[in-house]
Amino acid sequence: MNYYSIFLSLLFLPGYSFTQPTNPIIPAPVQFEQINAAPVELSTNSILYYPPNFEKQAGYLREQILQQTGLTLSLRTLVPSQKAPWIGIVLKYDTTAINKNEMYQLKVSGNVVLIKARDIRGFVNATQTLLQLIPLSKKLTIKVPAVNITDYPLFSYRGMHLDVVRHLFPLSYIKKYIDYLTFHKFNTFHWHLTDDQGWRFESNTYPALNKVGSWRDSTLIGHFFDKPIRYDGKRYGGYYTKAEIKEVIEYAAIRGITIIPELDIPGHSRATIAAYPQMSTKPDTAWNVAITWGMFNRQNNVLVPNDFTFTFLKTIFKELGDLFPSAYIHIGGDECSHLWWKQDSLTQRFIRHNHLKNETGLQTYMVGYVTAQLKLFNKKVIGWHEIAEDGLDTSTLIMNWADDKKALEVAKKGFRIIMTPAKPFYFNNYQSKDPNDSLANGGYNPLDAVYNYPIIPDAVQKAKLANQIIGAQGDVWTEYIATTTKVDYIIFPRMTALSENLWSKTKNYPDFLRRLEQFMIPRYQLWNSSYFKAYRVWTKEK
């Protein structure tokens, strides 16, 4: 008997009292109440009613129940004038009881599982909760415990990032990754598509980005700090076609996931200048796509401020913006080495001609140029914290991968912030100190550190700038992550912990571990996903 069977059998014992500590849901909902009533039974005779504008979400729920239990429900449009009695699942559009974005109510009683929401994410969030209430096994009849749940998120931005540049993953896994986000009630997928080691989306206007920039001649073997450094000598690369990207965008939209693409400029551009050397500070040089990691101040990877570059930026971001429907485009802006600009006479002339203070001013100028171009296409900018300089439009969203001190500094400048500090939200960092654990970038981010990290730092709270923090994100940089199995290993269970940190106002780590072990780990197994098992051994104190 699995954990779900035990849970359900306990529920229906005479006199059993369902109290808050037995809540199975991750992330923990705002309100979870057992109703003193018999469970609702779903069978092949049950109907899934839905409002016309949420037909795709109804189809998604039907598909998920079928995959999890083997039960096929009939679909039927919910007519506004139609009243109870219903038998089955009812998705009801409601703007009165539901007064927050992404909010839902789920009431299971009598013969009905009633879900109320007012937006796609509300219905999808309710779906994930319902899936956690029903068995993880094939059943002809499903018993859903009688409960009353009201739920909504603590933060408006809840994201996960995936770098597909250092290592490229198949389209099927990108969809699976989006499914992971959906189940955990995240709402944003940050897709890191360009960097020094490759260019990963199809461009019609600049074909050399794919013919040249999408391929590197070799890849580092072992760790960056190993001596001697070794390479495998194998050509590596590829990219996602526009048709594939559109397929992923549609897949994500049904699940309420916004995809924010990242095209990193003006640094981290080695693959770009390999394809088009005229955008480098040394246009007569034949540049290679980077075959190693750690480029900052070591290898030239910056764009030069000339006419070709600015035309490129205008055109390529228009091409990217036309492809992705998200309101925001991520432009990177991190780790932009000023060394190569300092050494280039044409760049120095540009700085003087435009009355820029220094290379930092040039970086802000280039970021501002892209920001202005994106505004013409009704798009806004997200960038890493290095771009948060005076003179930049404060409508720009800032991702802070540094510490709490940097968060306070950026907040004081008037920017809204997404917290993604390397410590503890870089999931490519080690989750143990076991020397036999697989390679990681460095640092140590155990599960409890992810769960307990205060997303709004104390200093920001004290400065009365808490409203500047709109959420957080877990990042996955893939220098040492070559397979989908390892992606799963490094994100689970830390992604699960982050989901509750972002969603739930009240947190209880021991109870989280209980729910993780009883209800979530069986789901990792259902997904055929690997995960780190020694999370109780390795903690913040070790």
pLDDT at 146 over 60: yes
- Tell whether 145 and 162 lie within a shared domain: no
The residue-averaged pLDDT of 235-248 equals 98
CB atoms within 10 A of CB 402: 18
First vs last C-alpha separation in the chain: 35
Return the structure tokens found at 323: 């492809």
Model confidence over 187-204: pLDDT tens digits?
999 999 999 999 999 999
Q: Is residue 540 in a domain?
A: no
pLDDT at 474 over 50: yes
Q: Is residue 382 in a domain?
A: yes
Task: Return the pLDDT at 22.
Answer: 78
Q: How far is Cα 439 from Cα 135, in angstroms, rounded to an integer?
A: 36
Q: What is the DSSP letter of 257?
A: P
Residue 52 belongs to domain with CATH number: 3.30.379.10
pLDDT at 373 over 70: yes
Task: Return the pLDDT at 82.
Answer: 66
Residue of 94, 102, 163, 195 with catalytic role: 195
Q: Is residue 542 in a domain?
A: no
Residue 262 belongs to domain with CATH number: 3.20.20.80
- Domain limit, last residue, from 97, 120, 151: 151
Long-range contacts of 538-541 (CB under 8 A, 24+ apart): 538/431, 538/432, 538/433, 538/434, 538/446, 538/447, 539/446, 539/447, 539/448, 539/449, 540/446, 540/448, 540/449, 540/452
Distances (CA, A) of 235 to 249, 290, 479, 484: 29, 12, 16, 20
Return the structure tokens found at 25: 């849901």
Q: Is residue 538 in a domain?
A: no
Task: Return the pLDDT at 4.
Answer: 47
Task: Return the pLDDT at 390.
Answer: 87
- Tell whether 109 and 168 lie within a shared domain: no
pLDDT at 8 over 60: no
- Tell whether 125 and 266 lie within a shared domain: no
The residue-averaged pLDDT of 31-45 equals 94
Total structural domains in the chain? 2
Model confidence over 54-89: pLDDT tens digits?
999 999 999 999 999 999 999 999 876 666 667 899
How far, in whole angstroms, is CA 482 from its chain's centroid?
19
- Tell whether 107 and 214 lie within a shared domain: no
Model confidence over 386-397: pLDDT tens digits?
999 988 999 999
- Tell whether 130 and 167 lie within a shared domain: no
Q: Is residue 535 in a domain?
A: no
Q: Is residue 86 in a domain?
A: yes
The residue-averaged pLDDT of 121-141 equals 95
Is 335 catalytic? The answer is yes
Q: How far is Cα 444 from Cα 427, in angstroms, rounded to an integer?
A: 9
The residue-averaged pLDDT of 132-159 equals 95
Task: Return the pLDDT at 83.
Answer: 66
- Domain limit, last residue, from 129, 151, 173: 151
What's this model's pTM, rounded to 2 decimal places? 0.95
Model confidence over 482-498: pLDDT tens digits?
999 999 999 999 999 99
Share of the chain above pLDDT 90, in %: 93
Residue of 268, 359, 386, 448 with catalytic role: 268
Q: How far is Cα 407 from Cα 412, in angstroms, rounded to an integer?
A: 9
What is the pLDDT confidence band of residue 7, given thresholds at 50, 70 and 90?
very low
Task: Return the pLDDT at 363.
Answer: 97
What is the pLDDT confidence band of residue 542, given thresholds at 50, 70 and 90?
confident
125 in Cβ contact with 151 (< 8 Å): yes
CB atoms within 10 A of CB 136: 18
Residue of 335, 389, 404, 511 with catalytic role: 335
Mode of pairing for the β-strands spanning 220-221 and 230-231: antiparallel
- Tell whether 432 and 325 lie within a shared domain: yes
Q: Is residue 127 in a domain?
A: yes
Task: Return the pLDDT at 76.
Answer: 94
Share of the chain above pLDDT 70, in %: 95
Which residues constitute the domain of residue 305? 157-526
- Tell whether 137 and 173 lie within a shared domain: no
Task: Return the pLDDT at 3.
Answer: 44
- Tell whether 185 and 286 lie within a shared domain: yes
Task: Return the pLDDT at 6.
Answer: 44
Query: Mean pLDDT over all residues of the chain?
Result: 94
- Tell whether 47 and 177 lie within a shared domain: no
- Tell whether 113 and 192 lie within a shared domain: no
Q: Is residue 499 in a domain?
A: yes
- Tell whether 446 and 376 lie within a shared domain: yes
- Tell whether 324 and 205 lie within a shared domain: yes
- Domain limit, last residue, from 84, 117, 151: 151
Task: Return the pLDDT at 408.
Answer: 98
pLDDT at 244 over 90: yes
Model confidence over 418-462: pLDDT tens digits?
999 999 999 999 999 999 999 999 999 999 999 999 999 999 999
CB atoms within 10 A of CB 427: 25
The residue-averaged pLDDT of 340-363 equals 97
Q: Specify the residue for token string 């937006």.
A: 119
Q: How far is Cα 212 from Cα 205, in angstroms, rounded to an integer?
A: 14
Q: Which of 93, 98, 103, 86 is nearest to 40 (CA)?
A: 86
